[in-house]
Structure 1
Amino acid sequence: MDILSITGLRARYGHVEALHSVDLRLGEGELVTVLGPNGAGKSTLMRAIMGVCSNSGQVQFRGKDTPRNNPVALATDGLILVPEGRGVLGPMTVEENLEIGGYLLGDRNAEFERRLAEVLEMFPRLRERLSQDAGSLSGGEQQMLAVGRALMAGPKLLLLDEPSLGLAPRVIGEILETLRELNARGLSILLVEQKAPLALKIANRAYFLSLGKIVSEFDPKEVSSHEELSKHYLS
């Protein structure tokens, strides 16, 4: 069963159409990556899924049409986005950022504490920095916090927009390994990435987006070299 189904999705900024009739699906428990160069429309795709830019077409989450301009309703249903640039609240502490992630729970109840314990086990560096301002963290730590905050919301489907942006290779490896582990636990993930070789190591399926269009869909296992990957970039 597909947890996310997209048909004929178009998105525009003013008179400029940035997505052109995109079709995409993500099965329950899959980790799917969308690859493409800068300007391909990857971030616009994420915004359109969340209904926060002008769009048309059909986006279904868990078998139901998604609401437009209502990300709170989507978050309540379990569709959570970690945006490009992380979006941590710098003047607030790490703990306060995580508390915001769990705001749908109402207060620090038993479920909140369970989720918090899981996040801190997954990202032990955050435990060491709970009282530290989020803006003082390194880029990698901020990305861990952004993912941890999303997990506090109890996602059914996690969307990640360029989580490797601006990070050192070692940190990128840690973040992607965490995503692999989350997916192994059953979490469905849609990952937008520029660093194709790394994303393909953990993805079940891949789409290539170019100039606002899906130009190919492929099995990462079929890509055994940079030459094979370049065929999708040039298709």
Structure 2
Amino acid sequence: MKYSFMSFSCPELTLNEMLSMAKEFGYDGIEPRISSNHRHGVEFDANQIQRKEIRQTAIDTGIAIGCVATSCRYADLKTNQDMVNDTMKAIDLTADIGSSRIRVFGGKIGDGLDRNAAVDLVAKSLLSIADHASERGVTICMETHDDWCNPTDVAAVMKKANHPAIAVNWDIMHPVRRSYATIEESFEVLKPWIQHLHIHDGSAQTSLLPIGEGDIDHKSAIERLSTI
């Protein structure tokens, strides 16, 4: 298991500063979130020279870019095609800078869709880009988040998509905080597809808290992940 931190927690840091901090505190990697006005410079509009520089800087520092966190989401027909197009761009950006994962969301379910239709739409969207991701050596990791905090719903997408380039980013907090599943239950449902993890802490009353001050049993999650 390797550890990284996301630019969500340090949006003011440049790429070099993030890499230096990771090295100082013993992290294996970093996870830049794109399209969020963070200062790291890992963005769709980075040209090929800049992408090569980002890749080489990470190599020289010895810190991996473990994942690129996107805001792509697919469960709304009004924005679906734009999101699919953005995901294609994110796949290329991720491969170009030497990373191998992107984080995506299912997203808020749009007007006129029930859960079954939303599962179909998200799975179809992911499948439409999965072969390209595979060709570029990138895995698309759907997060337990927003209207997809219930691990059973994410598992339904995984089963329908059934592609090796489509996996799960298990955010261990959201299913617990939204009272859909315990850590143990979430793990058992998602285990076949877990390729990435987000760890933070919170409670039903407060969305984010320092680790150790909320309701999340991090030890249980790590113990179960160690069995994979």
Name the TM tier (shorter chain): 0.3 to 0.5
- Higher strand proportion: 1
TM-score by length of 1: 0.38
Q: Which of structures 1 and 2 has the larger relative contact order (alpha carbons within 8 angstroms, sep 6+)?
A: 1
TM-score by length of 2: 0.39
